[in-house]
Chains A and B, each alone.
Chain A
Amino acid sequence: MEQRQPFPIAAWLIAAIASLGLFLAGADVWLAGAALLVWTGTLWLASSTPPPAPPREDDPPISRYRMSELIENSGSPILLVENGRVTVANRAARKTLGKHIVGQDARVAFRQPAAVKLIERGKSGIATIKGLVQRRDIWRVNLQKLSKGVGVVELVNMTAEADISRAHTDFVANASHELRTPLASIVGYVETLSESEDDLAPETRSKFLATILAEANRLQSLVSDLMSLSRIEAEKHDAPSEVISLREHVEQAARDAAGPDRQHRLLIEGEQDFRVEADARQIEQLVRNLVDNGLKYGAQNESVVVGLDEAKSGDARLTVRDFGEGIPPEHLPHLTRRFYRTDPGRSRASGGTGLGLAIVKHIVERHRGRMDIASEPGEGTLVTIRFPVARDAG
């Protein structure tokens, strides 16, 4: 676009005064006139061609500052490494590796040999390193080269994934083991019964039959627990929509779990009721599992206390406390894993499937609740579950 600048009046005036001076100093009138003409003409020509506009770039290169803004709020740790030095680290990276890494040598941030090699090589690539933050964790370091000596490093925590894939393999192995054991004993007893039909004493026969029945029952409860676990897992991401009154269901389920024989050991505390968005059947199952655990593993002459009250946060708090031998602390983090048993022999003898707490955990997760298990060896165990109260409950 042609853009004509205004005529430079001041410059022209100087030219005019200079020419006048020239004339007054005794120069020829024509010479002074010519000087003025040339001067003005030059000014005119120079001003009539505007300086060429700087070439516009539609896609300016992103500056380091803009880039740091861009990555700052990303959930995964991202760093910019320039010539072996960390120049930008986003919030997640600073949180993971510490604030000190900005401006430091990249090796201070990643001292693991595999990562050092990757960054030294200066080409895009991926390395898996162990012990970046904690000694046992696993991280994937993803380096993308931008230009010579400049690269973006993204960190991905693989620890959980390694755990999950291990848990999955464990589950398949465990489930088939758990199913096979009762089946093998059923098959064994039935074979014995059918092969030696005549020469078996009637007491032995009935003993065998009772074992078969017990094993078949165990198989049945195992299958039904597996079914409910997979159903709950499938529904895990649809929040329950029904609004129920919590106390009624909790009390009913607790009494069901205790049954007539153990009713005297059950103690229900609290008066307050809560309206929560929940699946009534699942809440009952949760309470049944917890109360059953408490009665089974608590001391046989002590009660199990079921409480329902308001937590500090305003949530509904369900507590199930038993007074048994408690759980050693090293088992606590694993309790909700499928088929995890602190004492395999005892649990199986009491008819446990090893899935009870896994089911509870999934139900709690589906209801957006929180679960906490505290235990003191020799004192007993306290399971606390908090449910958010329904908003429209008023």
Chain B
Amino acid sequence: MVEHTVKAFDEDITRLRGLISEMGGLAEVALQEAMDALVKGDNELADKVVKGDKKIDALESEVDKLAVRVIALRAPMADDLREVIAALKIAGVVERIGDYSKNIAKASREIGDRKQFEPLTLLPAMADVAGEMVHDILTAYAARDPALAREVIATDEKVDAFYNSIFRNVVTHMVENPATITAGAQLLFVARNIERIGDHATNVAEMVHFAATGNYPPDDDE
């Protein structure tokens, strides 16, 4: 990127990107740890994820403040404006990803006996795909790489397919073992949360694409 005449502006934008990356890193770890807690039934880890979400929220409001300040003081134009707007939106979405991870951690505390639950083996595989999306999209954001952003958007289908198969699987399981309905319902929420994380990673991908090129990705089905 070309340097700006006003050095402070450069510094603000760099700091903004740094904050977004930091948030992303925290959200990535939160998802990973929430899934670990879910699979192993580790309530301490789950508590840690729930507590850690506060830090993501704090960072989000920091990004908001900084972005508004940059707009007010520097009146950015063209790609700078896109950069700031994208940062503003991405921060909101990443914060949601953190929230979903928190929800997964909360749900993990509600699930009692893990032994007899076959869908529990499918969920980590699904979370892997979603986690990969989050990881890739943060890398794409750091590198301003629209091609990688489009790849992430394409991956979302896999997460949706996983969601459908897990949904059917869990429902069948609950029909057969009514005793597990409470835990099963929690697992459905977890699957739903992971699915939403995938969708949100797609949203970030669109913003990354927008910030880098000025256009939304071509096959946008909105």
Contact = CB atoms under 8 A, between A and B. Distances in A.
B74 interface: no
B135 A135 contact: yes
A104 B18 contact: yes
Contacts of B26: 113
Given A135-B131, A135-B132, A104 B142 contact: yes
A133 to B, nearest CB: 8
Interface string B4-26: 00000000001101110110111
Contacts, number: 59
B17 A113 contact: no
Q: What's the dominant secondary structure at chain B's contact region?
A: helix
B122 interface: no
B89 to A, nearest CB: 18
Contacts of B17: 104-105, 107-108
Interface residues of A, number: 21
Contacts of B58: none
A380 interface: no
A145 B97 CA distance: 34
Interface residues of B, number: 23
A281 interface: no
B135 A107 contact: no
Contact of A108 (B21, B28, B29, B131): B21
Contacts of B18: 84, 104-108
Given A100-B143, A107-B19, A113 B29 contact: yes
Interface in B125-143: 128, 131-132, 135, 138-139, 142-143
Interface in A205-253: none
Interface in B104-124: none
B143 A98 contact: yes
Contact of B142 (A103, A108, A112): A108
Given A84-B18, A105-B15, A106-B18, A98 B25 contact: no
B142 A100 contact: yes
A178 B199 CA distance: 48
B144 interface: yes
A116 interface: yes
**Most A C-beta atoms less than 10 A away, residue of B1, B15, B131, B135:** B135
A264 interface: no
Contacts of B138: 111
Contacts of B19: 105, 107
A253 B7 CA distance: 73
B131 A107 contact: no
Given A105-B14, A105-B18, A111 B25 contact: yes
A105 B87 CA distance: 14
Contacts of B21: 105, 107-108, 111
A111 B143 contact: no
A8 B28 CA distance: 75
**Most A C-beta atoms less than 10 A away, residue of B18, B24, B26, B28:** B18
A116 B22 CA distance: 7
A103 to B, nearest CB: 8
Nearest to B22: A107
Interface string A36-75: 0000000000000000000000000000000000000000
A361 interface: no
Contacts of B14: 85, 103-105
Q: What are the 10 closest A-B residue pairs judged by CB atoms, nearest first?
A: A105-B18, A111-B25, A107-B18, A111-B21, A107-B21, A107-B22, A108-B142, A108-B21, A135-B135, A100-B143
Interface of B: 1, 14-15, 17-19, 21-22, 24-26, 28-29, 32, 128, 131-132, 135, 138-139, 142-144
Interface of A: 84-85, 98, 100-101, 103-113, 115-116, 130-131, 135
Given A98-B139, A100-B142, 7 more contacts: A100-B144, A101-B142, A105-B15, A108-B17, A111-B24, A113-B29, A131-B135
